[in-house]
A = this chain, B = another copy of it.
Amino acid sequence: MPPSLAITPQPAGRLEYRVFRSVNTRWEDNDSYGHVNNVVYFSWFDTAVNAYLMERGVLDIHGGPIIGLVVENHCNYFRPLAFPQTVEIGLRVEHIGRRSVRYGLAVFGPDQDAAQTAVAQGHFVHVYVDAESRQPCALPPSWRTILEHLQ
């Protein structure tokens, strides 16, 4: 059976995400077709997850003992966006493993209507590793507490 193109997920609603982060688009986000390039959405996903972890005090990218490396990511795109729009990135935690976490992410327009559906949505999986050895390590309890708020 060939890979099917038909199982595109339905756009999620705002209520399916736990926290939101506002992101302003940049001139260079638009590509030759005048819309935000697909690559940029993954940059927003990275930004939303890492900023959340840094601002809650668990991730310290300069000197902390544990960092998260992306081992899988995915996105589906439903409608286009264009600079200079502002967007909001919705974030939730879909699975907490012993050494890895699956985050669910979605992009919403600036209108904060609760009935609004996602412009794009996807996920990424972080494996947490020792910052020096880069070997996988168990998530500390402080991280679990922060992450459970997003489930």
Tell me the A residues contacting B by CB distance below 8 Å.
2-5, 8, 22-28, 30-34, 37-39, 42-44, 46-47, 50-51, 54-55, 61-62, 67, 69-77, 80, 83-84, 94-95, 97, 100, 102, 123-125
Contact = CB atoms under 8 A, between A and B. Distances in A.
A4 B38 CA distance: 25
**Chief secondary structure at chain A's binding surface:** mixed
Contact of A72 (B42, B70, B75): B75
Contacts of A2: 94-95
A25 B21 CA distance: 12
Contacts of A37: 27-28, 46
Count of this chain's copies in the oligomeric assembly: 4
B70 A38 contact: yes
A125 B100 CA distance: 27
B73 A3 contact: no
A84 B55 contact: yes
B77 A71 contact: yes
Given A24-B24, A31-B31, A32-B30, A5 B95 contact: yes
Given A72-B75, A75-B72, A42 B38 contact: yes
Given A33-B67, A43-B27, A44-B26, A38 B97 contact: no
